[in-house]
Structure 1
Amino acid sequence: MLSLEGKQIAFTGARKQDEVKQLVANFGGVAHIRPAQGTILTDEEEIGPAMRRVIAEGADWVIFTTGQGAQRLLDVARQSDMLWDWLRLLRTARVAARGYKTRKLLKEWAISPAVSDDDGTSAGLMRAFGEAPQLDGRKVVVQLHGERPERLLRWLEDNGAVVETLMPYIHVPPPESDIRSFLEELQERKFDAVAFTSALQVRYLFEMAGRFGMKEMLRSRLSGDVLAAAVGKVTAEALEEEGVAPVLQPSDQRIGSLVVKLARYFQTGSFDESQ
């Protein structure tokens, strides 16, 4: 039977804390939430008028890049008494979606994306569009995800799209004192593994580690005594770009699958899911 008995696992995402703790506890381990990014929802008075303008002007394509962002836009639409107008737009325009969580949310509202990625990345979404002749001269509304996906936006513009963006939330660094304490815990080998759920968490953590003169320590720990784990290909690539190897990641983008893979690794010592 798979087990995390006695294992201390740090998670750098702040969302669904109780669920994460219970998932790890189900395998006998202990989850420690150590947020490496903060999220601030865009004020309704700021995003609401932009959504009304999009509804009034219409759109040929609407691209959702995260489930959290898609949900925030639905929430603002409901709070601003324009939910049905927003849903009508999504059912008349063509919709593209990046990521499993985004597709799951849209399905709940009976919205079927015409285009979706196969790996949770913007690059995968671009591949799914193919040569993108359908974008030339078309108005494309892109839901941003805390930061501007410059590669995706540039690709859309290069293919002739008229791009408008909606920013339902922004990411901010966590308090420096919290990150310093987390880095000190890593230095003292208090965790058996650290699970990252976004590339931005990786970037913030390494950036702050550099400020504190602890970057080499962080890279060494995550490549040695402390197992680095990642949800999603983009997150894993961010760790690899920082020189961290190996990186454990599940075949899908779900936190539950990551916890199962952690339990399998600590039981077998192998990244191979067949063991």
Structure 2
Amino acid sequence: MSDTLAGRLIAVPETRALDLFCDMLEGRGATAMRCPMVRIRDAEDGVPIEAWLNRFVTDPPHVMIFYTGEGLMRLVGFADRMGCEEAFVDTLSKIRKITRGPKPVKALRSIGLDTDLRAVSPTTDGLVETLQGEDLAGQRVGVQLYPDHKARALLDLLDALGANVDRVIPYRYVPAQESTEAARLIERMAEGAVDLIAITSMAQISHLFDVAAALGIEDALADGLTKTDVASVGPVATEALQARGYEPTIVAPEPFALKSLVRRIEAHFAP
């Protein structure tokens, strides 16, 4: 394709789109260091998810807020196994749907639906700004969250607006590989051998720091993050980095996708 990233070693902790992302980088001459951090699995205990779906179908909320496309598709999967997928999608079609970012919009469209309202920015703060002044008093509001969510501000707002919130977290994160692999990545970064690490989710940051803490190599990770350029795919990953005291070197523009991130990486390393 090109050699705009020739000679660059880029760490890729992505999991779901690992091959796609690495192909895009390698097609531009980079060496991709595959180091998937986390995998996504259904919630370990399915009983609360099934109970939530039963409530959703039999006594639907007035509003449904989706944080992630993964969350919506996991709910569709649970509903399918329960034998109520058609009822779930039909019910969803009749209520107001609010989305945080582009991925839940894409997931809705994959089941023949669309969003009714998008957050002004794909963050919790964006949802809060969007919903300020909404008349939700006495309304039932479903909220699909994600593991280790940072949604307190949204939940507080919904409470202040008088909404009755019914939340659900339909999936969890599990390590994608042995901690020794993440430790090896930290070691290479601390050596200054990695040109850039491309962060595509908050969970990747959490896992990297968790491994460093568990193995007592926090100083090596801190050293590595000062020697290695850090690219972020969007606001959520950026906020996760900032919460740890680090500013990304590169942030992808909207629509916060891999293609736009790769273009920014190319521009960063351009002579």
Q: TM-score, normalised by structure 2?
A: 0.89
The one of 196, 202, 205 equivalent to 1:202 is 205
Partners of 1:45 and 1:179 in 2: CA distance: 30
2:156 maps to what in 1?
A: 154
1:33 maps to what in 2?
A: 34
Partners of 1:44 and 1:176 in 2: CA distance: 25
TM superposition shift of 1:262: 0.7
Q: State the AA in 2 paired with 1:147.
A: D
Q: Deviation string for 1:64-122 (max 9, x for gaps)? A: 10011111112222233212211111111111111111112212333232221232101
Partners of 1:28 and 1:80 in 2: CA distance: 47
Partners of 1:122 and 1:64 in 2: CA distance: 11
Partners of 1:246 and 1:142 in 2: CA distance: 29
Q: State the AA in 2 paired with 1:154.
A: D
2:13 maps to what in 1?
A: 12
TM superposition shift of 1:172: 3.9
Q: Deviation string for 1:125-173 (max 9, x for gaps)? A: 121123122x111111111212343332222122211111222101245
Q: Residues 152, 178 of structure 1: CA spacing in aligned structure 2 closer, same or farther, 3 A cutoff?
A: farther
1:217 maps to what in 2?
A: 220
Quick check: 1:239–1:247 contact (8 Å CA) kept in 2?
Answer: no
1:195-274 correspondence to structure 2 within 5 Å: 195-223=198-226, 225-252=227-254, 253-268=256-271
2:122 maps to what in 1?
A: 120
Quick check: 1:99–1:117 contact (8 Å CA) kept in 2?
Answer: yes
1:189 maps to what in 2?
A: 192
Q: State the AA in 2 paired with 1:215.
A: E
Partners of 2:158 and 2:249 in 1: CA distance: 31
Q: Residues 44, 202 of structure 1: CA spacing in aligned structure 2 closer, same or farther, 3 A cutoff?
A: closer
Partners of 1:14 and 1:242 in 2: CA distance: 22
Partners of 2:237 and 2:111 in 1: CA distance: 28
Alignment partner of 1:92 is 2:84: no
2:172 maps to what in 1?
A: 170
1:272 maps to what in 2?
A: none
Q: Deviation string for 1:223-245 (max 9, x for gaps)? A: 3x311011111211222332324
SS in structure 2 at match of 1:24: helix
More divergent stretch after superposition (45-54 vs 118-127) = 45-54
Q: State the AA in 1 paired with 2:100.
A: R
Quick check: 2:143–2:165 contact (8 Å CA) kept in 1?
Answer: yes
Quick check: 2:128–2:153 contact (8 Å CA) kept in 1?
Answer: no
Q: TM-score, normalised by structure 1?
A: 0.88
Unaligned residue ranges in structure 2 (runs of 5+): none
SS in structure 1 at match of 2:270: helix
Give the total of aligned pairs.
266
Q: State the AA in 1 paired with 2:233.
A: V
More divergent stretch after superposition (258-267 vs 107-116) = 107-116
More divergent stretch after superposition (190-199 vs 42-51) = 42-51
Quick check: 1:59–1:89 contact (8 Å CA) kept in 2?
Answer: no
Partners of 1:179 and 1:170 in 2: CA distance: 19
SS in structure 2 at match of 1:142: strand
Q: Residues 145, 45 of structure 1: CA spacing in aligned structure 2 closer, same or farther, 3 A cutoff?
A: closer
Quick check: 2:186–2:224 contact (8 Å CA) kept in 1?
Answer: no
Q: Deviation string for 1:242-274 (max 9, x for gaps)? A: 232452111121012111211111114xxxxxx
More divergent stretch after superposition (98-107 vs 44-53) = 44-53
SS in structure 2 at match of 1:14: coil
Q: State the AA in 2 paired with 1:21.
A: C
- 4+ residue runs of structure 1 moved beyond 4 angstroms? none
- Among all aligned residue pairs of Structure 1 and Structure 2, give the percentage whose two residues are the same amino acid: 27
Partners of 2:229 and 2:219 in 1: CA distance: 16
TM superposition shift of 1:43: 5.4
1:21 maps to what in 2?
A: 22
